[in-house]
Amino acid sequence: MSRQSTATRGHRADRDAYLQLVMRFPLRPLKSEREYDAAAELLDSLVLRTDLSAGEKDYVDALSLFIENFDERQHTFDTSSRTPLDMLRFLMEANEMTTTNLGKVLGSKGIASEVLNGKRALSKSHIRKLAARFHVEPGVFLGRTG
């Protein structure tokens, strides 16, 4: 009997910790930068803790999804007017990739340099390698994303 009551108390404590967080910042889609900033600040404070209860961990998981969803909706990158070379440069910068790093993906630093200087077009093989490396659709490097 004491084992069951201990388990019940643990479950209740998890639920209470979760509900306290929901009351502090309700779990719902974020609609403004202000809500996003508040959610991110709360999430940052929670993920630094090493003693989260199961309920708090569930809250962190849910809040993370709402933050990711807001990021995807608000921080999209319009690719419609970008050339394949623009996209490559953007992805390299976002991934802190150098010409040497690009050369490792494409097969040689010389090829990477020629591509970046517009002296050489990307081959189908290069496009497949870049798409896999950056986790994007190959069409990004063909001038279309569909």
User: Do residue 50 and residue 100 come from a single domain?
Assistant: no
User: Do residue 103 and residue 133 come from a single domain?
Assistant: yes
**Structural domains in the chain (count):** 2
- Which pLDDT score is estimated for 146? 43
- Which pLDDT score is estimated for 5? 58
pLDDT grade, residue 135 (50/70/90)? confident
* Structure token digits, residue 134: 């950056």
Tell me the residue range of the domain where 26 lies: 2-74
The yes-or-no verdict on residue 3 having pLDDT over 60 is: no
| Mean pLDDT of all residues in 106-120 | 93
| Mean pLDDT of all residues in 89-99 | 89
The pTM of the whole model exceeds 0.75: no
Least-confidence region, from 13-17, 51-55, 85-89, 117-121: 13-17
User: Do residue 129 and residue 92 come from a single domain?
Assistant: yes
SS3 122: coil
Q: Which of 39, 74, 109 is the last residue of a domain?
A: 74
Which residues neighbour 99 within 8 Å (Cβ) at sequence distance 6 or greater? 109, 112, 113, 116
Task: Give percent of the chain above pLDDT 70.
Answer: 86
